[in-house]
Amino acid sequence: FNGRFNLFLSSAANRPLQEGIREEVKKILKQPGYDDGSAGPVLVRLAWHASGNFSLVEHNGGSNGAGMRFPPESVDPANAGLHHAISFLMPIQAANPWLSHADLWTLAGITAIEAMGGPKIPWEPGRTDYESEQAASEHRGNVGDRLPDGALGADHIREVFGRMGYSDQEIVALSGAHALGRCHTDRSGFDGQWVVNPIRFSNQYYKLLLRPIWKPREWDGPFQYEATVAGTKLMMLPTDMALVEDPKFKVWVEKYAADQDLFFKDFSMAFGKLIELGVDRDDTGFAKLVKKSAQEGKP
């Protein structure tokens, strides 16, 4: 029964039901006392990390199943801090027990992006949840250690996003999400925000990347870059800087810095694709929790 009602979210007659969930997400975005007063950025990160461990070759991982509720994903250091996002959504989940976590997490991410001034992103319901840790481990295979490491460079970025099937252009478009939110020393070890207003979706990230202002930060933490803009201390990760150091990535940084509409259009497509990775719906619209074998390495 759980998840079955999700299909109703997609039918035209029940469009108001889907709208209702979006409205509930908008209501919990304001979080005085948390970060910059908004749950938005961490909700976007939740949708991305829930989806970003998909592998095209092994055909496992991805948002379907909401595997991050269970080990190993729940204890993966790459996901540190995402329990905040899950907690912010708890009241909505409790009030709508028919809604799968996997659908809520992805819907919350795109609702947050739009509410923070970003583009509309295509979203379809129908994701199903693993019922238990055992079911998750049986179905999922080994999806650990697939999210990007901010300390590395262009080769690593292409390896991680190539595994999901993304081109250079799409990689640069997706990276624009770093206009949102911040790094926390107690989560990733890195520290600070990328842009001056980290709860406003824009192409500022690209504009800042192209400015010759970035200097290695002298501190005890991991290697990162820093600059002060309009009185605000900003940061870039080594992986962010790789987008201007690599000539093929840089072409797209320049295009998106110059044309916010193009960025919004390409980001919408790339993020819409991200939250669909591995969501294999049957002909009724529900996603199958297909049993995967990591050894076989194929569906």
- The contacts of residue 164 (CB under 8 Å, 6+ apart) are 52, 54, 55, 56, 274, 277
- 9 or 174, CB closer to ligand DDH? 174
Least Cβ distance, residue 274 to ligand DDH (angstroms): 6
- 3 or 109, CB closer to ligand DDH? 109
Q: Supply 71's token pair.
A: 């080990």
Least Cβ distance, residue 63 to ligand DDH (angstroms): 12
Judge contact between 187 and 45, C-beta under 8 A: no
* Residues noted as catalytic: 49, 194
- 3 or 79, CB closer to ligand DDH? 79
Q: Supply 124's token pair.
A: 């379809």
Least Cβ distance, residue 261 to ligand DDH (angstroms): 18
Q: Computed from CA positions of residues 197, 275, 266, 239, in that sequence, does the dihedral angle turn out positive or negative?
A: positive
Binding-site ranges for ligand DDH (CB under 6 A): 41-42, 44-45, 48, 81, 148, 150, 157, 174-175, 177-178, 180-184, 187-188, 190, 237, 239, 271
- 121 or 136, CB closer to ligand DDH? 121
Judge contact between 140 and 133, C-beta under 8 A: no
Q: How many helices (H) and strands (E) does the chain have?
A: 12, 5
Least Cβ distance, residue 18 to ligand DDH (angstroms): 22
Phi-psi region of 201 (alpha: psi -120 to 50; beta: other; left: phi over 0): beta
- 3 or 239, CB closer to ligand DDH? 239
Burial 235-269, CB ≥16 within 10 A → b, else e: bbbbbbbbbbebeebbebbebbbeebeebbebbbe
Q: Which residue is nearest to ligand DDH (CB)?
A: 181
Strands 225-229 and 182-183, bridge-based pairing: unpaired
**Kind plus residue range of the DSSP H or E element containing 265:** helix 260-274
Least Cβ distance, residue 24 to ligand DDH (angstroms): 20
